[in-house]
Amino acid sequence: MTVPPFSDLSPDARHALPIGIIGAGRLGTTLADALAAAGYTDIHLATRADARATVEACALVFVTVPDRAIREAVSALPWRAGQGVVHASGALGLDVLDAAAAHGTLRGCLHPLQTFPGATSPEGSAARFRGIACGVEGDASLGDLLTAVVDDLGGRVLRLEGVDRALYHAAAVLVSNDVVALMAAATRAWEQADLPVTEARKALAPLLLAAASNVARLPLERALTGPIARGDTATVQRHLEALLGDADLSATYRALGRELLRLDLGHTPEIHAALAALLRE
């Protein structure tokens, strides 16, 4: 199948482009539904077992398998010049697609900065992309096409050329995956306080959601509440004394507290120094 250069496609031609998605897991399924909701009409969602037929039929192919499987999956497929192949990994560069590039296929990345926790409705899938940043990189005209796709999905384009991909992805992990670790640590402290562990998530999750809402709306200095924001050294000391019996929880509390002290909280030098001393390793 021959198509014009991706940058020369009209919106109607772009929406009619045969698009394959190899990997029918959470991201692949959500992406397929979101593209359909955005007006794309020729979408082929396939497992790796059906990948060869999908590549033969499509001009643009998204590979949404786990990071560790991308290079092997791409290497086994019959690519051709004029196609585009796109992975969705935040941590990997375009080199994992080099086996396709050897056949003249353009390489790209579209990494949504979003969580995909499981099955949802087509409307819910479309909503997962609205207003989020999507990391984009692409060879030649494929980068232009991926920019247009993100616009169609209602997302915001974040260009990744020249970016340290490992650090970029680590930043995303800290605010998505590691917030779950933070809830696990908080649940452990809750249980050690002799509160029922079955109540921990129900009690703490609204607090987490409110804090996330503050972060989304306000500068970090204003979003922060609590003893470090107030310069309440006595309360911080009581926390640390209570955590003496759990070295891991104590280390987590101290490390996160030191990170908060990097913010301009408006404390006097004396209060800042006192908090820093308490939170030192």
Q: Determine the pLDDT at residue 119.
A: 63
Number of domains into which the chain is organized: 2
Q: What percent of the chain has pLDDT over 70?
A: 97
| Beta-strand pair 84-87/60-63 | parallel
Say yes or no: 56 and 129 in one domain. Answer: yes
What does the pLDDT read at residue 4? Answer: 52
Its domain, for residue 95, covers 6-163
Terminus-to-terminus CA distance in the chain, angstroms? Answer: 61
* pLDDT band for position 257 (cuts 50, 70, 90): very high
pTM, two decimals, is 0.89
Evaluate whether residue 223 is within a structural domain: yes
- Read off the pLDDT band of 101 (50, 70, 90): very high
* Per-residue pLDDT tens over the stretch 218-239: 999 999 999 999 999 999 999 9
Closest CA to 152 of 34, 42, 59, 60: 34
The distance from CA 24 to its chain's CA centroid, rounded to whole angstroms, is 18
Confidence band for 271, pLDDT divided at 50, 70 and 90: very high
Reported as a single tens digit per residue, the pLDDT across 47-99 is: 999 999 999 999 999 999 999 999 999 999 999 999 999 999 999 999 999 99
CATH number at residue 115: 3.40.50.720
Cα 119 from chain centre: 17
pLDDT tens, 39-60? 999 999 999 999 999 999 999 9
| Domain closes at, from 163, 198, 220 | 163
